[in-house]
Amino acid sequence: MSQIEARIKETAERVNLALENLLPAEQGSEVRLIGAIRYAALGGGKRLRPFFTIEAGRIFDADEGSLLRAACAIECVHAYSLAHDDLPAMDDDDLRRGRPTLHRQYDEATAILAGDALLTFAFELMAEPATHSDPQMRCKLISGLAKASGAQGMVAGQAADMAGADIGSDLIAVTRMNRQKTGALINFAVDAGALIGGASEAEKTALSRYAHDVGLAFQMRDDLLDAEGVVRDTGKAVGKDKARGKVNFVTVLGADATRDRINMLANQAKAHLSVFGSRARILLDAVDFIVDRRY
């Protein structure tokens, strides 16, 4: 295991432990719903969004407790989005992270409600004083998360993805869709760490540009894995987009051109971090992990 893989694994373990303690316990009349919530949120995964929040904040020696709670809130939004994405009305997937998807493990209604609960729980976490002592900072975090995950962010991208056939081969439209669907939450994950760390405007801009390029590279790599990956590595079905006639970077650009753009974005992302010198070494290494990953 490389150093960056070990660092990502360490962050994932911290986030898993924190979520174990923060999420409601399986008891009382809501036991089935809570079980589904915990199944969705504690089902493994790379926890890259929390990783970005924590590592961006560490550049500025931000409070680790604040970073971890904000990271957990962001991961709850991500977990909700996956639970809803997998539903028959959307991507209709049976496998996620090597396990049955939430609606297959429980049922469709429970999956919808568990996703709803995870979304609202994310804002509960952000609003609590334990996340940050300054109420204005908590308001900034809440507002940023709402914008990243709402009708002009992640949900807008999901809606465009559902209407993929209408996009056709329009690269600008495909880029915008993925900038919203995947990139918006990754961008906010980095922004949250910078906010909590008290970054200057110039520093926040540099990190936001890094997040923009990393988010697109991440999605392009996902599209390549869907086209060329194997279930053993990815932990989810592959070849889905082609089978359903959906558009993505590979269907529009082709595999080789997509790889070229990933490398271009990776180089740009690294360049944006030059202002931080050695303080951004982990975020720098994360770029290589994202573009080389097989899952």
State the chain's mean pLDDT as an integer.
93
Side-chain-side CA neighbours of 21 within 13 Å: the count stands at: 7
Residue 248 backbone zone (phi > 0: left; psi -120 to 50: alpha; other: beta)? beta
Q: How confident is the model at residue 192 (pLDDT cuts 50, 70, 90)?
A: very high
What's the predicted TM-score (pTM) here? Answer: 0.93
pLDDT, position 229: 67
Specify burial of residue 122 (Cβ count, 10 A radius: 0-12, 13-18, 19+): buried
If we measure between CA atoms, which residue out of 287, 293, 290 comes closest to residue 273? 287
DSSP H helices in the chain: 3-22, 31-41, 48-58, 64-85, 102-105, 108-127, 135-149, 154-162, 164-167, 171-178, 184-196, 201-228, 231-234, 240-244, 249-253, 255-272, 281-292
Residue pair 121/97 in contact by the 8 Å Cβ criterion: no
Q: What percent of the chain has pLDDT over 70?
A: 94
pLDDT, position 170: 84
pLDDT at 234 over 70: no
What is the pairing mode between strands 95-96 and 99-100?
antiparallel
Q: What DSSP character marks residue 291?
A: H
- Phi, psi at residue 64, to the nearest 5°? -65, -35
pLDDT, position 231: 58
Determine the Cα–Cα distance for residues 114 and 111; give it in Å rounded to an integer. 5
Instruction: Give the pLDDT confidence of 97-145 residue by residue, as tens digits.
Output: 889 999 999 999 999 999 999 999 999 999 999 999 999 999 999 999 9
pLDDT, position 98: 87
Instruction: Give the pLDDT confidence of 241-259 residue by residue, as tens digits.
Output: 666 667 899 999 999 999 9
pLDDT at 233 over 60: no
pLDDT at 188 over 90: yes
pLDDT, position 232: 57
pLDDT at 165 over 90: no
End-to-end CA distance of the chain: 15
Note the CATH number of domain 3-292: 1.10.600.10
Instruction: Give the pLDDT confidence of 263-285 residue by residue, as tens digits.
Output: 999 999 999 999 999 999 999 99
Specify burial of residue 13 (Cβ count, 10 A radius: 0-12, 13-18, 19+): exposed
Residue pair 197/60 in contact by the 8 Å Cβ criterion: yes
Residue pair 25/242 in contact by the 8 Å Cβ criterion: no
